[in-house]
Amino acid sequence: MQNRQIKLVSIDIDGTLLNDQRVITPAVKAAVQAAVAAGVYVVITTGRPRTGVLEVLQQLDLMTGSHYVITHNGALVARTDGQETVYQERLPLPALEQAFAFAKEQGVYIQAESDQTAQTLDRAINVWASQENDVVRLPLRVVDDVAAIEAGGFVKALAIGDEKQMDAVQAAVPASLAAAANVVRSTPNNLEFMNLSASKGQAMLALAAKLDIEPAATMAIGDQENDLTMLEAAGLGVAMGNAVPDVKAVADVETADNNHDGVAKALDRYVLSALD
């Protein structure tokens, strides 16, 4: 493939930037820092809230005001230092209420998330939610009703359970809810309900426009269903070797998997080599 000048790279975290041990390998870190040093915007793009990405941003030295992060699967774009919000699309309250009612019907745990906290109506301890909130460093509050959630603030809703349960829940989403929210699978254990306008792809394009970068000069790297929109929107969509089939189908190219420095290899080949 002919080299092009890439000015912005949007990179997913889990299954992409991190290997299966949840580690950024030395090769990946070096490639990211080389791209940044060359003036390329490297944008960590994730379903996680900001609390869940701070450690990654710190490891990659992306915590200054000149860097940006996309969180909540594209519902929020901000400077990494938290001092400026570039773009935000919050799930409307009626859609949040509908998502919570649907989860109750399905007998599945659900929580609302902001960048500061998770809130749930479920008073029973849920092991999957405990693991999720621990990974993303998000404190959990139990509240009495959706009105309390609204008062506490939220960006999206997240249903959590084991993979088979979530397969069934995703298949059961009614047309009315699918019409009210962007419903997307971010991991085998999660099903997210977001603003219809919120997606990683839309967020990446909004940030590129702010930075006066043409879509053709963007690259996106991902592995899961929630990465589809950014691979489709990017000038160059890169699927990880471990990506799900749908991601590989829309990608322009494929790199190695997350356990074999796939991000580093993509940056070396499609970004850094074009700068030589």
In this prediction, residue 187 carries a pLDDT of 84
In this prediction, residue 135 carries a pLDDT of 87
Distance CA 97, CA 62 (A): 36
Give catalytic status of residue 12 as yes or no.
yes
Residue 161 and residue 128 in contact, taking contact as beta carbons nearer than 8 Å = yes
Per residue in 10-26, pLDDT tens?
999 999 999 999 999 99
Spans of the chain, pLDDT less than 70: 1-4, 276
In this prediction, residue 3 carries a pLDDT of 53
In this prediction, residue 161 carries a pLDDT of 94
Taking residue 13's Cβ as centre, other Cβ atoms within 10 Å add up to 18
Residue 246 and residue 221 in contact, taking contact as beta carbons nearer than 8 Å = no
Per residue in 76-95, pLDDT tens?
999 999 889 999 999 999 99
In this prediction, residue 186 carries a pLDDT of 81
- 109-147 burial: b if 16+ Cβ within 10 Å, else e: bbbbbbbebbbbbbeeebebbeebbeebebebeeeeebe
Distance CA 106, CA 91 (A): 20
In this prediction, residue 1 carries a pLDDT of 46
Task: Tokens for 55, please give them.
Answer: 């450690």
In this prediction, residue 163 carries a pLDDT of 94
Q: List the catalytic residue out of 12, 14, 223, 227.
A: 12
